[in-house]
């Protein structure tokens, strides 16, 4: 690299500065070393759109299975022994932790709850939730978008789909933060991993109790459907059921939290709130531009199943590869003026929700929730403005591009 030494670059890639504003470093990597080995992160870093699509479409090489369990492998044996429950969990197959044919089987059971028809049927409930929040805060004259809306809404929606009590949304949020804190780098601290293991044990016990309840009294929810599939034996094991439910509760709300928070911030910061108010037809492309410009999932890890070559580099079986989605979505080979936020952008084939068999199962739901939130706030809060234009990015979850707070005034 010409601008920084390898050592300083490696330190930078795991620094708070990089998490706060990754784009200058990602641009430099994409231009000079698009398939880059990082000792600090513990794997190959990919920054080109084409390489991202290639790796997404080759799960036989770039695997989901066992990728998160790798987080403990660098630890000394005594430390690793303390994390057996963690390692065992992430070696269990589930929606996000499997490849075909297991992934195909599990995904087929889950997608029934997230079809466009099912999601459209949820619109009145989502609208009512948004209205209730705004009814409470409009007389106050302001709110924290993240705390008061962007977290609670998608967690409540996912909980309702799954069949978990919406009143437990703070529990789900705490578990999600703990389980996402170690992801995105391949050498997290022992303390972070132990904290994640504690959350895992808690959420597994919580879900096991719900599963037991649904076996006794099935309801009209996704958990009951999964329990019924598990009872048939060949469709889903109980371990896979629990693993998949954890994914739905944890990952099922993070993307939408990011979309809502990042969207409100970007529209106000880039003076495009009024543009949308004057031309509501721009809302759909605006949502796609939000997803592109600040991709909710910043990076995705993959575990190599076999040796291969990418970008002239020899990538070995057992190594980790990190797909930097926020770099791919600003690749000038695919996006004109990629560092400009523009709700009128026409060519916008972003990959914020992934590509191929691992395309986000909740993408339709996330878009609908975002549409309802933005539409309602545009109608009810025309004078919305930021308290502080400096973004308060959450720097504790490298995988996620998410604001920690977003205070606004009405």
Q: Evaluate whether residue 1 is within a structural domain.
A: no
What Å distances lie between residue 284 and 169, 348, 376, 402, CA to CA? 28, 12, 14, 21
For residue 234, the model assigns a pLDDT of 64
Per the domain annotation, does 322 fall within a domain? yes
Distance CA 47, CA 299 (A): 10
From residue 297, alpha-carbon distances to 214, 286, 293, 326, 353 in Å are 32, 18, 11, 8, 8
Per-residue pLDDT of 143-184, as tens digits, reads 999 999 999 999 999 999 999 988 888 888 889 888 888 887
Which CATH number is 349's domain given? 1.10.630.10
* 7-12 long-range Cβ contacts below 8 angstroms, 24+ apart: 9/38, 10/38, 10/39, 10/40, 11/40
Residue 242 falls inside a structural domain: yes
pLDDT tens, position by position, 334-354? 999 999 999 999 999 999 999
In a domain, 213, yes or no: yes
Axis-axis angle for helices 238-269, 152-162 (nearest 10):
150
* Strand bridging mode 385-386 / 35-38: unpaired
Cα–Cα nearest to 325, from 294, 285, 346: 294
Mean pLDDT in residue range 51-67: 94
How confident is the model at residue 2, as a pLDDT? Answer: 41
Q: Which residues contact 150 (CB under 8 A, 6 or more apart)?
A: 256, 257, 258, 260, 261, 373, 406
Structure tokens belonging to residue 221: 């929810």
**Rounded Cα–Cα distance for residues 47 and 158 (Å):** 31
pTM, entire model: 0.92
Full residue range of the structural domain in which residue 277 is found: 6-409
Q: For residues 197 and 178, what is the distance between their CA atoms, to the nearest angstrom?
A: 9
**Each residue of 185-234: pLDDT tens digit?**
767 889 999 999 999 999 999 999 999 999 999 999 999 999 988 877 66
State the total domains in the chain: 1
Task: Report if residue 218 sits inside a domain.
Answer: yes
Does 42 fall in a domain? yes
């Amino acid at each position: 690299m010409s601008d920084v030494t390898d050592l300083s670059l490696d330190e930078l890639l795991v620094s708070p500065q990089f998490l706060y504003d990754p784009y200058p470093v990602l641009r430099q990597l994409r231009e000079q070393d698009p398939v880059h080995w990082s000792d600090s992160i513990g794997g190959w870093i990919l920054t080109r759109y084409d390489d991202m699509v290639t790796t997404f479409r080759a799960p036989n090489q770039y695997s989901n299975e066992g990728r998160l369990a790798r987080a403990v492998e660098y630890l000394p044996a005594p430390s690793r022994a303390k994390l057996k429950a963690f390692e065992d969990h992430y070696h269990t197959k589930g929606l996000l932790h499997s490849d075909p044919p297991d992934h195909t089987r599990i995904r087929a059971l889950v997608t029934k709850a997230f079809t466009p028809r099912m999601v459209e049927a949820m619109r009145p409930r989502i609208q009512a939730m948004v209205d209730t929040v705004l009814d409470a805060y409009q007389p106050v004259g302001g709110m924290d978008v993240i705390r008061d809306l962007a977290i609670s809404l998608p967690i409540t929606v996912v909980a309702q789909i799954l069949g978990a009590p919406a009143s437990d949304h703070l529990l789900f949020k705490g578990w999600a933060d703990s389980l996402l804190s170690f992801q995105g780098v391949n050498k997290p601290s022992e303390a972070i991993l132990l904290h994640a293991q504690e959350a895992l044990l808690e959420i597994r016990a919580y879900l096991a109790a719900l599963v037991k309840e649904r076996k006794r009294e099935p309801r009209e929810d996704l958990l009951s459907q999964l329990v019924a599939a598990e009872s048939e034996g060949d469709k889903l094991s109980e371990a896979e059921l629990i693993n998949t439910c954890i994914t739905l509760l944890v990952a099922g709300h993070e993307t939408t939290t990011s979309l809502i928070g990042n969207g409100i911030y970007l529209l106000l910061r880039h003076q495009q709130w009024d543009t949308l108010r004057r031309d509501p037809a721009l809302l759909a492309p605006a949502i796609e531009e939000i997803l592109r410009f600040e991709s909710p999932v910043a990076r995705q890890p993959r575990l190599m199943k076999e040796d291969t070559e990418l970008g002239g580099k020899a990538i070995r079986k057992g190594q980790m590869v990190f797909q930097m989605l926020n770099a791919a979505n600003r690749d000038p080979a695919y996006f004109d003026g990629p560092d400009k936020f523009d709700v009128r952008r026409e060519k916008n084939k972003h990959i914020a929700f992934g590509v191929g068999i691992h395309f986000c199962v909740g993408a339709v739901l996330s878009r609908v929730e975002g549409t309802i939130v933005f539409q309602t706030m545009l109608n009810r809060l025309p004078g919305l403005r930021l308290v502080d234009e400096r973004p308060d990015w959450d720097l504790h979850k490298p995988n996620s591009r998410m604001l920690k707070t977003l205070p606004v005034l009405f």
